[in-house]
């Protein structure tokens, strides 16, 4: 069956790469990429349609091309470049609502894939070490991208109830990082002096950008709709990541951390919500066995390899005098001998 795929958010890095990737797939007849601004890079076989998903016009695009698969990549993590937090929230929440409304009306739509985020699990000291998909947040996110993600998932669940005939897959990504993508975490770890919260050290999980695309591809062509966590194997401690990057770790007592966050935010370099401060303190782990069992997807890069790939592609110069660790050490799993 030749398929017609609509990809939203193609002017952003991941959306653009996904449109190119799907355009090369033998089962795909047409890829339509939509966004409000033209994509900076060539979309390959994919066609670009300038449309705003916050506008009912998107319904016409879906109908005209009788789109059967919608891949929603336009849930954005940072207001930098989106025109501020309120614009970001509108793109994420109103955009998703409009897109889902359009999908609900379109009889041709048979499949929906939504990029979500592991931030929906919230962050707190009471979190289990690893979240599985059936667990709920101990402390629900209250601001920023994390809250948007919770709301987006809520609307998607509503859509699942109203259109049970559509196969819906949501992918909860741990922080996506890699050679090309620009994320708040990438910017944070690129600071020469990295402020952290004194006395705390979060566990960080990373998804390589190539693995993120492969996961969306697996969800699009796989036959197991559902909600899945996506991440590379293993974790890095925040302090460990900063050390590997050769940056200076600057632990600040909690009150100063909030002040610093406000300063960095004012300069518009990184938007840091209080949610993200909590993340630096406690971190988060997600279990990825479901996607492996049901979609056969295995991330090819571990968290550590993803981080090293990021470092390799960002020759920002090391702040600390010693060299980067020479060889990547093998990833350990829990268990095994004690010594």
Partner 1 sequence: MSDAQVIPLNPDREPTGDGGASFAGEQHLAGAFRFLRRRLEGSYEVDDFGFDRELTNDVLIPSLRPLYEKWFPVEVHGIENVPSEGGALIVANHSGTIALDSLMTQVALADHHPAHRQLRMLGADLVFAVPFLGTVARRAGHTLACNPDAERLLESGEVVGVWPEGFKGVGKPYSERYRLQRFGRGGFVSAALRAQVPIIPTSIVGAEEIYPILADAKLLARLLGTPYFPITPTFPWLGPLGLIPLPSKWHIEFGEPIMTDVFTEGAADDPMLMFNLTDQVRETIQHTLYKLLMQRRSVFF
Q: What residue ranges bind partner 1 (CB under 8 A)?
A: 125-130, 132, 135, 198-201, 203, 234-237, 239-244, 254, 282-283, 285, 320, 322-325, 329, 331-335, 337-339
Please, which residue, 1 or 337, has the CB nearer to partner 1?
337
Asked if 26 contacts 90 with a C-beta cutoff of 8 angstroms, the reply is: no
CB of 199 to partner 1, least distance (A): 3
Shortest distance in whole angstroms from residue 312 CB to partner 1: 15
**How many whole angstroms separate alpha carbon 97 and alpha carbon 297?**
29
What minimum distance in Å lies between the beta carbon of 210 and partner 1?
22
Helix (H, G, I), strand (E, B) or coil at 306: helix
- In degrees and rounded to multiples of 5, residue 72 shows phi and psi of -95, 100
Nearer to partner 1, 68 or 127 (CB): 127
Q: How far is the CB of 336 from partner 1 (least distance, A)?
A: 8
Phi, psi of 17 (to 5 degrees): -65, -35
d(CA 222, CA 12): 24
How many whole angstroms separate alpha carbon 188 and alpha carbon 339? Answer: 35
Residue 288 CB, shortest distance to partner 1, in Å, is 11
Nearer to partner 1, 111 or 231 (CB): 231
| C-alpha 330: how far from chain center | 25
Task: State how far the Cα of 3 lies from the Cα of 69, in Å rounded to an integer.
Answer: 7
If the CB atoms of residues 242 and 295 are measured against partner 1, the closer one turns out to be 242
Q: How far is the CB of 303 from partner 1 (least distance, A)?
A: 10
Phi/psi at 54 (nearest 5 deg)? -80, 0
Which residue, 83 or 128, has its beta carbon nearer to partner 1? 128
How many residues make up the chain in this entry? 339
| Comparison of 111 and 303: residue with beta carbon closer to partner 1 | 303
Strand 193-197 relative to strand 248-252, pairing: parallel
In whole angstroms, what is the distance from residue 265 CA to residue 267 CA?
5
Query: Residue 233 in contact with residue 266, Cβ under 8 Å?
Result: no
Q: Which is nearer to partner 1, 222 or 285 (CB)?
A: 285
Smallest separation, CB 248 to partner 1 (Å) = 11
Q: Alpha carbon 72 to chain centroid distance? A: 12
């Amino acid at each position: 069956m030749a398929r017609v795929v609509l990809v939203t958010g193609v002017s952003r890095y991941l959306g653009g790469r996904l449109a190119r990737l799907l355009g090369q797939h033998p089962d795909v007849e047409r890829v339509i990429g939509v966004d409000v601004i033209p994509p900076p890079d060539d979309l390959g076989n994919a066609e670009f349609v300038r449309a705003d998903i916050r506008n009912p016009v998107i319904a016409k695009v879906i109908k005209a091309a009788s789109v059967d698969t919608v891949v929603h990549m336009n849930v954005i993590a940072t207001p930098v470049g989106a025109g501020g937090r309120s614009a970001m929230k509108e793109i994420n929440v109103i955009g998703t609502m409009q897109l889902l409304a359009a999908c609900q009306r379109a009889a041709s739509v048979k499949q929906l894939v939504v990029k979500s985020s592991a931030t929906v699990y919230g962050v707190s000291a009471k979190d289990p070490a690893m979240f599985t998909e059936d667990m709920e947040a101990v402390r629900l996110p209250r601001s920023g991208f994390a809250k948007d993600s919770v709301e987006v998932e809520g609307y998607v669940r509503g859509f699942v109830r109203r259109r049970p005939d559509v196969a819906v897959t949501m992918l909860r990504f741990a922080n996506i990082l890699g050679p090309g993508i620009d994320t708040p975490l990438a910017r944070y770890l690129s600071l020469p002096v990295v402020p952290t919260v004194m006395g705390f050290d979060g566990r960080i999980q990373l998804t390589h950008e190539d693995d993120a695309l492969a996961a969306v591809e697996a969800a699009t062509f796989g036959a197991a709709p559902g909600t899945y966590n996506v991440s590379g194997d293993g974790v890095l401690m925040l302090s460990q990541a900063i050390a590997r990057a050769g940056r200076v770790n600057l632990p600040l007592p909690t009150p100063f951390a909030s002040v610093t966050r406000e300063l960095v935010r004012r300069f518009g370099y990184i938007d840091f919500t209080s949610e993200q401060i909590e993340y630096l303190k406690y971190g988060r782990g997600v279990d990825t066995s479901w996607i492996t069992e049901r979609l056969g997807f295995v991330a090819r890069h571990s968290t550590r390899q993803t981080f090293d790939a990021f470092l390799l592609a960002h020759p920002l110069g090391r702040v600390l005098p010693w060299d980067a660790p020479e060889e990547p050490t093998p990833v350990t799993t829990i268990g095994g001998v004690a010594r």
